[in-house]
Amino acid sequence: MRTTTARVPAKINLALGVGPRRDDGYHPLATVYQAVDLCDEVRATEVDDDAVTVRVQFGGDGWREQAPVPTDANNLAVKAALALRDAFEVKAGAALSIRKVIPVMGGMAGGSADAAASLVACDALWGTGATRTQLEEIAAGLGSDVPFLLHGGTALGGGRGEEVSPVLARGRFHWVFAIADHGLSTAEVYAGYDLLHSDVPPPVPEVPAALLTALACGDAYGVGAALSNDLQAVALDLRPELRHIFTVGERGAALGTLVSGSGPTVMLLAEDADHSAQLAQMLLSEGVCADAVQASGPEPGAHLV
């Protein structure tokens, strides 16, 4: 049986500006994405019928409590395979197998990552020969973060996040992710954001110029100082205990500490790999999170391995 495997990074938002809810229910975003080497893998295996199935295996430490990931047509990897199949009139099926390392409902776009990896793996399995642009179009229909997870690196996200363009970023950034044992619903966080702004709508979002300058210079201190997330206040209201992570970040001289996307993962920027190991150790010994994972970026987007 032929098999193809794609690896895909998690995403973080170094800046996440969120505008007023649009009529279609989405929020306009002005974001700076970075892909980090906390990776899921999606394997696609040939089958002799036209069924697209999925099974999910948890990688990493394995002990962390994981929110359920659907193993039916609601799984984003299955949706991606079906969307590719429809677009190219493929007749074959595929057995997908996901090795999950990206925390589920952690604000790191794990489901979207699996969708991007599934597109790449199934394109190779079925020999669809989709162009980059065609894959990006299908990706945008699957979810706002999916195009970036094909793209990878460090990039600007406009529209509802699906309009991706690269930004100049030098050097490598060392992160520690403080992972919670229960996820947060992205929809709940956005609903809280709308409530917070029910009287005065938020302004049209913009990416902070200081962040772009720091990235272009490879200045980790400047990046740490310019991190921002409009959803952070809501995530901290929903999970007040996350504030303890910020205290540890200050004591451990993290260059910056920020809620990742819609949370509850909190990311701490370190000076280098040694500093990130120290921060991870502090987080674990203080017992402020369920797990502390070191990762670095930027990483390439979904690719065959």
Which residues sit in the known binding site for ATP?
103-113
Contact pick of 41, 123, 145, 162 for ligand ATP (by CB under 6 A): 145
Which range touches ligand ATP (CB under 6 A), out of 27-35, 62-70, 190-198, 199-207?
62-70
Assess 70 for contact with ligand ATP (CB under 6 A).
yes
Contact pick of 9, 17, 19, 110 for ligand ATP (by CB under 6 A): 110
User: Alpha carbon 55 to chain centroid distance?
Assistant: 21
How far apart CA 173 and CA 210 sit, in angstroms, is 17
Contact pick of 9, 17, 106, 297 for ligand ATP (by CB under 6 A): 106
Q: Report in angstroms how near the CB of residue 271 gets to ligand ATP at its nearest.
A: 27
List the beta bridge partners of residue 154.
34
Given the complex with ligand ATP, which of 140 and 214 has the nearer CB atom?
140
Given the complex with ligand ATP, which of 34 and 262 has the nearer CB atom?
262
Instruction: Identify whether 11 is a catalytic site residue.
Output: yes
The two three-digit tokens of residue 86, written as one number: 């429809």
Assess 147 for contact with ligand ATP (CB under 6 A).
no
CA distances from 287 to 78, 181, 280, 290 (A): 37, 12, 11, 7
**Which position among 40, 145, 230, 291 bears the catalytic label?**
145
What residues from 8 to 37 belong to the interface with ligand ATP (CB under 6 A)?
A: none
x/- binding map, residues 280-299, to ligand ATP, per CB under 6 A? --------------------
Assess 153 for contact with ligand ATP (CB under 6 A).
no
Q: Which residues are catalytic?
A: 11, 145
